[in-house]
Amino acid sequence: MLLEIASTGAYRPLWSSEILDELERTLRTLLAKRGVSPEEADAYLTRLFRQMKTTFPDAPVTGWERLVPTIELPDPDDRHVVAAAMAGRADVIVTDNLTDFPPAALPMPLTRQSLDDFFLDELDLHPDLVVKAVRAIAARTGRSGPTLTAYDIATYLRAHGAPAFGARLLVALDQTARPAP
């Protein structure tokens, strides 16, 4: 969802090599829990990272390593995230791990937001782009799993990790489905 919304131009994603390594480890664990074989996981991750590189050629951040020692966080293993955000001149770190990124530890004007709050902001700022992104995701479903509608996706998000966004997205989908007067 994050990358689909970014692909509409609503915001510019940034990541470092360390963030991608962390993402790969997390996805491998998730895929293994879902019963995906290591070979299938390799193929999926290769496609995903190739697509990310192609779609967002300006997303990789360099020069972040030198900033790591200057950052104080509750979990030192998270310093690379703030360093990458600083090097990329990001405005916000999107994470549901808010306690490990206390506002006082972030250099101004960098902030952190939960995924739910970030999605809400994007929906407020770019409602048409967010709805377009959700509909694009729905249009791709059904190839290797169930076919989902944009409403199904919004309902799922409301129940799993982005409750406020999911609820507001349902309203936005209703509003965009109605013909203009």
Q: Which of 113, 141, 166 is the last residue of a domain?
A: 113
Tens of pLDDT along 68-93?
A: 999 999 999 999 999 999 999 999 99
Average pLDDT in the chain: 95
pLDDT value at 178 more than 70: no
CATH code, domain carrying 74: 3.40.50
One domain for residues 102 and 13: yes
Q: What is the pLDDT of residue 144?
A: 81
Q: What is the pLDDT of residue 27?
A: 97
- Assigned token pair, 45: 């991750």
One domain for residues 44 and 126: no
**At residue 113, what are phi and psi to the nearest 5 degrees?**
-140, 150
pLDDT value at 181 more than 60: no
One domain for residues 83 and 47: yes
In a domain, 25, yes or no: yes
**Strand-pair partners of 60:** 15
**Strand-pair partners of 113:** 94
Tens of pLDDT along 128-142?
A: 999 999 999 999 999
Q: What is the pLDDT of residue 145?
A: 84
**What are all long-range contacts of 102-110, with beta carbons under 8 Å and residues at least 24 apart?**
102/73, 102/74, 105/71, 105/72, 105/73, 105/74, 106/82, 107/82, 110/82, 110/85, 110/86
One domain for residues 50 and 23: yes
Structural domain for 60, as ranges = 2-113
One domain for residues 11 and 45: yes
One domain for residues 30 and 96: yes
What percentage of the chain carries pLDDT values higher than 70?
Answer: 97
Domain count, the chain: 2
In a domain, 72, yes or no: yes
Would you place residue 180 in the very low, low, confident or very high pLDDT band (cuts 50, 70, 90)?
Answer: low
Angle at 37 between CA 162 and CA 3, to 5 degrees: 35
